[in-house]
Amino acid sequence: MTDIPQDHPRYESLLAREKVAAGVKMGITSIQGLIAQGRGESFDYLIGERSTESALYAERAAVAALLLAENPVISVNGNVAALAPEKVVALADITGAKIEVNLFHRTDTRVHLIIEHLKASGASEVLGKNPDASLDLSHDRRLVSSKGIYTADVVLVPLEDGDRCEKLVKMGKTVITIDLNPLSRTSRTATISIVDNVTRALGNMAKLAQEMKKEKKEELVKLITSYDNKKAIAGAISEIQEHLKTMIAEVEY
């Protein structure tokens, strides 16, 4: 990886870029994953590269859902594995969630490499190598594990594509997504739509889970029943509009 000075104003963003590029070299991230990373960079720039109030609101509800779930699963793709493997493992450990690798551009080698990468980051079990169930989709995102995503009641799918998100919601699951575009089909169809950078969101969620684990079950239930996803998305949209205005005001003409 290229050495990036820690005091660089865009350190986190540049580091993430290096991690995804390294993921491609390691064979865990697809070429398309790099383009997706770039798309995310732009939206993160528009939102001010910070976890907004609406993002934290959604993250709190998401953690409550994971903590209350009977069979929570975190779905991992090549970008998530490259960007934040330790954060995935930490969140899974604290919430008792399973980890399952699920790829759009699936090859057995990539699945294997991602599983090994997650294990090197501390994961004990990772599903996804031998999918024995199938969602009603035409692409490889359909291949799932019967004890993982297929039977999960709560699924965290960071960096998801719109049609699998829709399918999982239709199956009656609580679907938590992390997507920086609040207008994407994924954000619009999820049960809990987190509009945040995936590294920041997973970090926040692991921290929140540590604290919220001590709370009473009723408190967590209350958090979920009072949660309004439309409010979260509308908040994210107006935060982008506000930040855009701030940026425009800062530019001198």
**Interface with a second copy (CB under 8 A):** 17, 20-21, 24, 31-32, 34-43, 46, 181, 183, 188, 230, 233-234, 237, 240-241, 244, 247-248, 251, 253
Residue with tokens 């399952």: 100
Considering the complex, state which of residue 42 and residue 146 has its C-beta at the smaller distance from a second copy.
42
Tell the smallest beta-carbon distance from residue 178 to a second copy (Å).
16
Tell the smallest beta-carbon distance from residue 251 to a second copy (Å).
6
* Token pair listed for 29: 């991230």
Nearest CA to 167 among 190, 198, 184? 190
Q: How far apart are CA 82 and CA 202, in angstroms?
A: 13
Considering the complex, state which of residue 130 and residue 226 has its C-beta at the smaller distance from a second copy.
226
Considering the complex, state which of residue 214 and residue 251 has its C-beta at the smaller distance from a second copy.
251
Tell the smallest beta-carbon distance from residue 24 to a second copy (Å).
6
Q: Are 160 and 177 in contact (CB under 8 A)?
A: yes
Considering the complex, state which of residue 44 and residue 59 has its C-beta at the smaller distance from a second copy.
44
Tell the smallest beta-carbon distance from residue 196 to a second copy (Å).
15
Tell the smallest beta-carbon distance from residue 32 to a second copy (Å).
7
Considering the complex, state which of residue 43 and residue 227 has its C-beta at the smaller distance from a second copy.
43
